[in-house]
Amino acid sequence: MADKPKHHPPHGMEPYDLSRQDDLGALSQEQQDKLNKFKTQTRLENEKYLRNHPEVECLIAGFLGDVLRNRPDNIKDFAAGYFTDDKLPDVLENQLQDRQHKFKQNRVLQKL
């Protein structure tokens, strides 16, 4: 009988191959290793992208904040209105400036 694959998913990711006893599971050890590497690489690339594009964080935070404040009955219509609002670029620019200002303040406070 072949060896049962060992599971070492990247930190924070759910086990993806929930095989039963005496079952090799859906993936071979080599396939699982490749999948783990792919997931880790994808996560790193996503984190790098988000660090380089702080506007994404501002968009998501602003949208979720408005959703929680307004609690719309129709979230799809609310989202469509939010992301097509002509004022959104200006709001986003203000949020980015506020974020940058807070980072500078934090750096000054950390040096004290």
Q: What's the pLDDT tens digit per position in 41-98?
A: 999 999 999 999 999 999 999 999 999 999 999 999 999 999 999 999 999 999 999 9
Please check whether residue 23 is in contact with residue 1, taking contact to mean a CB–CB distance below 8 angstroms. Answer: no
**pTM of the predicted structure, to 2 decimals:** 0.61
| In contact, 21 and 33? CB cutoff 8 Å | no
Task: Kindly state the tokens that stand for 85.
Answer: 């609002």
List the structure tokens of 50. 């988000």
Tell me what percent of the chain is helix, strand and coil, each rounded to the nearest 5. 65, 0, 35
Q: Who has greater pLDDT, 25 or 16?
A: 25
